[in-house]
């Protein structure tokens, strides 16, 4: 239906703001993929995968890294490496693992998720985390792991600070727990806070980050941690069907992403703010974060205005793709393939749709 609306629209180029997962590889990435030296990664023989893993571990300040097909698999492999069946993971009620990973930690790992409320800034209150840690009682699952998300998707792309993450890490160590960081957009957090990805991940025993979102690579995420942890996660990856063969074709794009994309993310953040500036004066629009902290613009539209589904259809007719995450809640995500002209077209299309 959206494709039909785009064909009918007058716009010559689609502006896709549904997510930063819609990015496609840059010309440099395509060249690197075509020329990649490859081997069998399950045997550890793919030199391009090995290079990507060494590079990722170094950037995150960890001993080792593992290339995985997706962030969901990376998070699942992390939880299953830290926890056994019947153990418990403490995480936010609005985090990606809770909301969007098909219940894999429970369904595939037998790990019990214990959720605590997610605050408006993406944090979990230290008191709430501590209260969720189980005592030594045969009635309870054993608390093993705490998970955080940085940046936090459902909290408007909010970045967690180094100081907060280290407080959670200290709490985990005090109780003998591990800390996993879902850093799908960790480099966005680094760009927003002015701290390195290694600093942001320092307190975590394991961390994932996505190559296929704002970094523009076509496929893949990386899971980082100690050498012992990554050896365990490699076995879990194999169990989950994630053992790839000549994966250097994909890893080559990831290397280019790390070399060329991380320093430019501040441009996406600036365009998100420009988008928010254009939407703010439109009657019926209420921004959730003003200004948006990273590359996401969340807003609601008032009762009486077109709802999210109607806005999706209306803007698709102008060649602009958006994502309604509720009946009146919209998320727009900037990325490498969104330029200033696309921002202006989007603002104008919203003005017209909401005026109608």
Given the DSSP bridges, would you call strands 329-333 and 296-301 parallel, antiparallel or unpaired?
antiparallel
First CA to last CA distance, the chain: 21
* Residue 8 pLDDT: 35
Q: What is the pLDDT of residue 2?
A: 46
User: What pLDDT does residue 11 have?
Assistant: 42
Residue 300's SS3 state is strand
User: Residue 29: inside a domain, yes or no?
Assistant: no
Q: Which of 46, 38, 32 is nearest to 256 (CA)?
A: 32
Structure tokens at 236: 């879990």
- Asked if 133 contacts 103 with a C-beta cutoff of 8 angstroms, the reply is no
Residues 25 and 333 sit within 8 Å (Cβ to Cβ): no
pLDDT of res. 355:
87
Domain final residue, candidates 260, 289, 321: 260
What is the rounded radius of gyration, in angstroms, for the C-alpha atoms of the chain?
21
Same domain? 231 vs 248 = yes
Q: How many domains does the chain have?
A: 2
For 105-133, the pLDDT digits (tens) are 999 999 999 999 999 999 999 999 999 99
pLDDT of the residue at 281: 96
110/44 Cα distance (integer angstroms):
29
Domain that holds residue 18: 2-24+264-355
Looking at the fold, whether 269 and 332 belong to one and the same domain comes out as: yes
Same domain, 192 and 228: yes
pLDDT of the residue at 12: 57
d(CA 168, CA 201): 12
Look up residue 64 and give its two tokens: 């080792």
pLDDT of residue 51: 98
Tell me the C-alpha distance between 222 and 75, whole Å: 10
Q: Are residues 233 and 340 in the same domain?
A: no
The candidate with the shortest Cα–Cα distance to 255, out of 37, 5, 20, 16, is: 37
Residues of the chain with pLDDT under 70: 1-12
**Residue 231 sits in a domain of what CATH number?**
3.40.640.10
Residue 176 Cα distances to 36, 166, 204, 301, angstroms? 43, 15, 13, 45
| Distance separating alpha carbons of residues 169 and 163, to the nearest angstrom | 10
Q: Return the closest-CA partner of residue 198 out of 171, 229, 162.
A: 162
The answer to whether the beta carbons of residues 113 and 96 sit under 8 Å apart is no
CA distance 178 to 147: 9
> Is 31 contained in some domain?
no
């Amino acid at each position: 239906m959206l494709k039909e609306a785009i064909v009918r629209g007058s716009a010559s180029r689609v502006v896709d703001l549904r997510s930063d997962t819609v990015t496609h590889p840059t010309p440099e990435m395509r060249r690197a993929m075509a020329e990649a030296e490859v081997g069998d990664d399950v045997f550890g023989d793919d030199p391009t995968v090995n290079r990507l893993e060494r590079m990722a571990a170094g950037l995150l300040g960890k001993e080792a890294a593992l290339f995985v097909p997706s962030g969901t698999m990376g998070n699942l492999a992390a939880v299953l490496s830290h926890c056994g069946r019947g153990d418990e993971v403490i995480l936010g009620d609005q985090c990606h693992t809770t909301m969007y990973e098909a219940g894999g930690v429970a369904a595939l790992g037998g790990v019990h998720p214990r959720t605590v409320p997610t605050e408006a800034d993406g944090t979990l209150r230290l008191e709430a985390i501590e209260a969720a840690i189980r005592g030594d009682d045969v009635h309870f699952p054993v608390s093993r792991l705490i998970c955080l998300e940085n940046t936090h998707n459902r909290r408007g792309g909010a970045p967690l600070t180094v100081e907060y993450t280290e407080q959670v890490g200290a709490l985990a160590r005090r109780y003998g727990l591990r800390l996993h960081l879902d850093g799908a957009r960790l480099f966005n957090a680094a760009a927003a806070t002015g701290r390195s990805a290694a600093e942001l991940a320092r307190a975590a025993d394991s961390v994932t980050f996505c190559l296929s979102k704002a970094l523009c690579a076509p496929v893949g995420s990386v899971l980082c941690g100690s050498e012992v942890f990554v050896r365990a996660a490699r076995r879990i990856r194999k169990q989950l069907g994630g053992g790839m063969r000549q994966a250097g074709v994909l890893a080559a794009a990831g290397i280019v992403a790390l070399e060329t994309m991380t320093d430019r993310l501040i441009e996406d953040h600036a365009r998100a703010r420009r988008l928010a500036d254009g939407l703010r004066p439109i009657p019926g629009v209420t921004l959730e974060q003003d200004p948006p902290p990273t590359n996401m613009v969340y807003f609601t539209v008032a009762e009486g205005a077109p709802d999210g589904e109607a806005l999706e259809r209306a803007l698709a007719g102008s060649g602009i793709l958006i994502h309604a995450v509720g009946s009146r809640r919209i998320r727009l995500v900037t990325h490498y393939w969104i330029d200033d002209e696309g921002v202006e077209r989007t603002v104008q299309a919203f003005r017209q749709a909401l005026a109608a």
